A and B are shown apart, each in its own frame.
With several copies, the nearest count.
Chain A
Amino acid sequence: MTHEILLAGFGGQGILFAGKLLAYCALFEGKEISWLPSYGPEMRGGKCNCSVCISDEPIGSPQVLEPDLLVVLNGPSFEAFVPNVKPGGKVFADSSMIDAKTDRTDIETFYVPATQLADDNNLAKGANIVLLGKLLHETGIFTFETVRKALEKNTPAKRAHTIDNNMRALQLGADYAG
């Protein structure tokens, strides 16, 4: 089993965090993992993406150029990365932020109004997790149980209350039919 996952959007959208959760899930399952961020010089609002490789074999290049799973939170990234998705791959796109649609038919694309869903449910900045929920729902690569463990590992004590919010966001994504 090898997953090459790319998450992409603006800085500040929680791209790296979402990738980290996936990486931790894989860690709990004893996989080989690499997680590689790439961002511009801006603190917020700049291009930001994250490559996550999960495999049973040692990982060579950690850079995901042709993802089989793409999570994408803004228009420019949608345009830049959808063409590179491997045939048979899956795309999870935040349709609150992205107007475009792809006409590729060799991949599956899920349009989730993630930002809207998050906002509507008082989960501001939760779009990343909403999309993750959808991804897990569609691929089943990790259970929500495992994600909760990853969240626990990656949430400082004084922000522990956010864990439940994030689990809610996950569920929102999973439940979204769209």
Chain B
Amino acid sequence: MAKMSVIFDRCKGCELCTTACPKQIVAIQHEKRNKEGVFTAYCTDESKCIGCAMCAMMCPDCAIVIEK
């Protein structure tokens, strides 16, 4: 049981995290812009997350927090 969460207003939508996830469960949403006008990353399937933190390691903006 692990949880990946994106700090909404810190995410710059660069997509680097999406390439790093071994489970391919990180993507960019196109629903809601944050205060910088950015469509942010999110976890497409929380149940699949293994908390490996690869996404977070790749994030240049410390916008991802991993809990386990």
Q: Which residues of the other chain, B, contact A96 by a CB distance below 8 angstroms? A: 33, 37
B36 within 8 A of A: yes
Is B68 an interface residue when CB atoms closer than 8 A count as contact?
no
Shortest Cβ distance from residue B4 to the other chain A in the assembled complex, whole angstroms: 24
CB distance from B35 to the nearest CB of A (A): 7
Chain A, residue nearest B37 (CB):
A97
Total number of B residues with any Cβ neighbor in A under 8 Å: 5
9 additional A-B pairs beyond A75-B35, A96-B33, beta carbons within 8 Å, are: A10-B36, A10-B37, A45-B12, A45-B36, A74-B37, A96-B37, A97-B33, A97-B37, A115-B37
- Closest-by-CB residue of B relative to A75 is B35
Q: Smallest Cβ distance from A99 to chain B, in angstroms?
A: 9
CB contacts between A and B, total, < 8 Å: 11
Which positions in A face B, CB cutoff 8 Å? 10, 45, 74-75, 96-97, 115
Least Cβ–Cβ distance between A3 and chain B, in angstroms: 28
Residues of B within 8 A of A (CB): 12, 33, 35-37
Q: How far is the CA of A74 from the CA of B33 in the complex (A)?
A: 12
Can you list 6 A-B contacts with CB-CB less than 8 angstroms, sorted by A residue number? Answer: A45-B12, A45-B36, A74-B37, A96-B33, A97-B37, A115-B37
Distance between Cα atoms of A10 and B35 in the complex (Å):
12
Distance of A95 Cα from B1 Cα, bound (Å): 40
Query: What separation, in Å, do the CA atoms of A74 and B38 have in the docked complex?
Result: 12
B37 contacts across to A, CB distance below 8 A: 10, 74, 96-97, 115
Complex CA gap A45/B36 in Å reads 8
B residues in contact with A75, CB < 8 Å: 35
Set of chain A residues within 8 Å of B35, measured between Cβ atoms: 75
Give the chain B neighbours of A97 by CB distance below 8 A: 33, 37
Residues of A within 8 A of B12 (CB): 45
List, in ascending order, chain A residues with CB within 8 A of B36's CB. 10, 45
Closest to A73 in B: B37
- A45→B14 CA distance, assembly (Å): 13
| Shortest Cβ gap from B38 to chain A (Å) | 9
A110 to B12, CA, bound (A): 28
Residue of B nearest to A9 (CB): B37
Q: A10 — which chain B residues lie within 8 A by C-beta?
A: 36-37
